[in-house]
Amino acid sequence: MTQTMAFADIAETVDDALGALDLPAQPAGLYDPVRYVLGGGGKRVRPALVVLAAEAWGGAEARARALPAALAVETFHNFTLVHDDIMDHAATRRGRPTVHERWDVPTAVLAGDLMMGLSYQLLGQTEGADVARLLASFSRMVAALCEGQTLDLAFETRADVTVDDYLDMIDRKTGALLELSLELGGLVGGADAHAVAELRRAGRLLGRAFQIQDDLLDLTAEGDGWGKTIGGDLVEGKKAYLALRAVERAEGDERAWLARALDGGLPAASVPEARDRMSRLGVLDDAARAVADYSARGGAALDVLPDGPAADALRALAVGLATRAA
């Protein structure tokens, strides 16, 4: 089985399983939005990490047993997107209206709440593993992710956010679910404590690489693959890696000019100039090096995987996620 076929097969299995969930028909005002979200597609990367990590240690039998945990992770991920869209006032997600736009905010809140509960229910259906330990790991992730989201919101009104603050935030908001995906797979597959710890470390490092690459693409992506407005983070005034690093490095008038990106955002017409200034300061190169460094360290942590096709597919998927071009 090739690496691409392995991922495609898992994604198709996850799609089919989500579509086959035995959800009630009524009240339609609750369950229709849930079906809408779970049927909306997505890359299914996180459930693939669960399945491949389990298969790396436990073979095809563990791969099959890991499906409920994989579905739990994907359902929870989609729940977070529903609530994130509310907080961000987002109108679309994956080319379709968001739940709060198609229905309303109370419906979106309730649909998200139900999906969170459903994720725990699915995780509890995992066989051949210590379910109490799985649930404890899952709950730890939930707390970390909520902490990260809270920190991100607090950044909007803070003037003293540093790059280290930002990295701490994305370790929770972005890295926590990647950590969990690899950890759950290892636990289902029978990995020992050292291996599980290394999987979690890999998830955290790859989460950093993924988010910094996302920040970099926000300013440098080319073509139609990105699907977002170039420079959107600067226009919205987000305290993301590039702007924070630029203000940290700049001096005098240039620092004052760039600091506007952290204090209310820049006009869209100023994005090219901001990119040029950041390039001269070496910020874009610094971000690219950070992505490469965290990806390499995350990939090295995955060396704990037993040799085999599943491990090869997992490495390719994880590192490819962190270094994608769109």
320 confidence band (pLDDT: 50, 70, 90): confident
State percent of the chain over pLDDT 70.
96
Q: Tell me how crowded residue 35 is: count the other CB atoms within 10 A of its CB.
A: 16
- Above 70 in pLDDT, residue 148? yes
Q: How far, in Å, CA of 117 to CA of 272, rounded?
A: 44
Query: 45-56 as b/e, with b when 16 or more CB fall inside 10 Å?
Result: bbbbbbbbbbbb
Instruction: Note if the pTM is more than 0.85.
Output: yes
Token readout for 71 is 């579905």
- Above 90 in pLDDT, residue 41? no
pLDDT tens digits for range 226-261? 557 788 889 988 999 999 999 999 999 999 999 988
Q: Where is 279: in which H helix or E strand?
A: helix 271-281
- Span 308-312, average pLDDT: 93
Q: Hey, what's the torsion of the CAs at 306, 309, 314, 319, to 10 degrees?
A: 100
CATH superfamily of 3-91+98-318: Farnesyl Diphosphate Synthase (1.10.600.10)
Q: Which residues contact 23 (CB under 8 A, 6 or more apart)?
A: 31, 34, 35
Domain boundaries, the chain: 3-91+98-318
Given this model, what pLDDT does residue 324 score? Answer: 77
- Above 90 in pLDDT, residue 298? yes
- Span 289-293, average pLDDT: 95
Question: What is the 3-class SS of 99-117, one letter each residue?
Answer: HHHHCCHHHHHHHHHHHHH
225 confidence band (pLDDT: 50, 70, 90): low
93 bridge partner residues: 96
Q: How far, in Å, CA of 71 to CA of 119, rounded?
A: 7
Angle formed by the axes of helices 105-123 and 67-88, to 10°?
A: 160
Q: How far, in Å, CA of 111 to CA of 175, rounded?
A: 24
Q: Considering the chain, what is the average pLDDT of its residues?
A: 92
3 confidence band (pLDDT: 50, 70, 90): low
- Above 90 in pLDDT, residue 314? yes
Q: Where is 290: in which H helix or E strand?
A: helix 283-301
Phi, psi of 189 (to 5 degrees): -80, -15
Q: How far, in Å, CA of 114 to CA of 24, rounded?
A: 12
Given this model, what pLDDT does residue 4 score? Answer: 46
Given this model, what pLDDT does residue 323 score? Answer: 78
Q: How far, in Å, CA of 33 to CA of 145, rounded?
A: 23
Q: How far, in Å, CA of 216 to CA of 194, rounded?
A: 33
Phi, psi of 275 (to 5 degrees): -60, -45
Angle formed by the axes of helices 309-322 and 45-65, to 10°?
A: 160
Minimal CA–CA distance to 235: which of 217, 261, 258, 274? 261
> Any idea which residue has 């490495």 for tokens?
315
In single-letter form, the type of residue at position 169 comes to M
CB 304 within 8 A of CB 193: no
Given this model, what pLDDT does residue 1 score? Answer: 45
221 vs 294, residue with greater confidence: 294
Q: How far, in Å, CA of 95 to CA of 69, rounded?
A: 27
pLDDT tens digits for range 171-213? 999 999 999 999 999 999 999 999 999 999 999 999 999 999 9
